[in-house]
């Protein structure tokens, strides 16, 4: 094996490993989107009802999003979390302190919630099904796992190529990484579109802002790494095979 192809293969493997770690971390963490709002020091009847609905297993889309807006919420692919004061009161505290302890409460999305239909008016079951948001949500949940599975399968083929001391099977590894990159890119695009459509239907309250979190950024970084690894795998395998064929033809001649 030529040193050029071996170097390209090693670099592609490193890029593949980094992208796999980034993608796994992105899937497993809860910071795809973050909301910033003033911390509620006391629980009014309205705030208490919003919090109770958030921790309820039967919370609808509008209920848990209202809590995310008000309580510095973060959203991942699997969980939603809010930050509330550790010692809450139904009345206003007698003295305001500059700092106070807060705790994070998280609720997991069940499989039923992941595949549940989204409604034109979030929370209103009589408003009709919003097919676009429904399928965007399902794609943003499924595509990262497809991407991770394709990279793992590609790594298995790459390992077989190393055992066989041949670069030609890594063409399949490169193709699988290309498909994985497309899945990752599709997942990120679906997530952005879904968030924008949600905010069009549920406007952010006053003094509340939102931004994409570091989990989302990891997924965004993972996609180009997968594309670069794919290009190196395919280039190394194809060029090595081409040179081997020319050398064989030369020897025969």
The per-residue pLDDT for range 34-60, each reduced to its tens digit, is 999 876 655 555 566 777 777 777 778
Give the chain's mean pLDDT. 82
Q: Are 165 and 1 in contact (CB under 8 A)?
A: yes
CA 120/CA 201 separation, integer angstroms: 8
Give the tens place of pLDDT for each residue, 104-128: 888 888 888 888 888 888 878 888 8
Task: Give 65-114 as a DSSP string.
Answer: HHHHHHTT-EE-SSEEEEEEESS--SS--SS--S---EEEEEEEPPHHHH
Average pLDDT over residues 198-203: 89
CA 224/CA 246 separation, integer angstroms: 33
Give the tens place of pLDDT for each residue, 149-200: 999 998 888 788 777 766 667 888 999 999 999 999 999 999 999 999 999 9
pLDDT at residue 14 is higher than 70: yes
Percent of the chain past pLDDT 70, that is, above it, reads: 81
| Residue 107 Cα distances to 23, 152, 178, angstroms | 22, 29, 34
Neighbour-count burial of 26, counting CB atoms closer than 10 A to its CB (0-12 exposed, 13-18 middle, 19+ buried): buried
Output the pLDDT for position 249.
45
Least confident of 17-26, 162-171, 218-227: 162-171
**HSE (CB half, 13 Å, CA atoms) of 193?**
15
Running DSSP on this structure, what letter comes out for residue 2? -
Q: Give the containing element (helix H, strand E) for 152.
A: helix 131-164
pLDDT, greater one: 189 or 2? 189
């Amino acid at each position: 094996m030529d040193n050029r192809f071996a170097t390209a293969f090693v670099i592609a493997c490193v890029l593949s490993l980094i992208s796999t770690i980034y993608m796994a971390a992105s899937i497993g963490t809860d910071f795809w989107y973050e909301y910033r709002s003033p911390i509620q020091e006391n629980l009014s009847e309205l705030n208490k009802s919003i919090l109770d609905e958030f921790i309820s297993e039967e919370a609808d889309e509008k209920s848990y999003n209202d809590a995310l807006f008000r309580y510095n919420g973060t959203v991942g692919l699997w969980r939603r979390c809010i930050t509330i004061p550790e010692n809450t009161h139904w009345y206003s505290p007698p003295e305001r302190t500059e700092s106070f302890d807060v705790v994070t409460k998280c609720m997991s999305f069940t499989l039923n919630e992941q595949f549940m239909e989204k409604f034109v008016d979030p929370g209103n079951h009589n408003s009709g099904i919003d097919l676009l948001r429904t399928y965007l949500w399902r794609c943003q949940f499924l595509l990262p796992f497809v991407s991770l599975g394709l990279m793992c399968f590609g790594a298995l083929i790459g390992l077989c190529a190393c055992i066989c001391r041949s670069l030609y099977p890594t063409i399949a590894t490169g193709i699988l990484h290309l498909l994985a990159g497309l899945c990752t890119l599709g997942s990120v695009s679906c997530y952005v579109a879904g968030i924008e459509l949600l905010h069009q239907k549920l406007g952010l309250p006053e003094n509340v802002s939102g931004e994409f979190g570091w989990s989302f950024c990891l997924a965004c970084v993972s996609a180009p790494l997968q594309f670069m690894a794919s290009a190196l795998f395919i280039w190394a395998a194809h060029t090595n095979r081409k040179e081997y064929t020319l050398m064989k033809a030369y020897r025969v001649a």
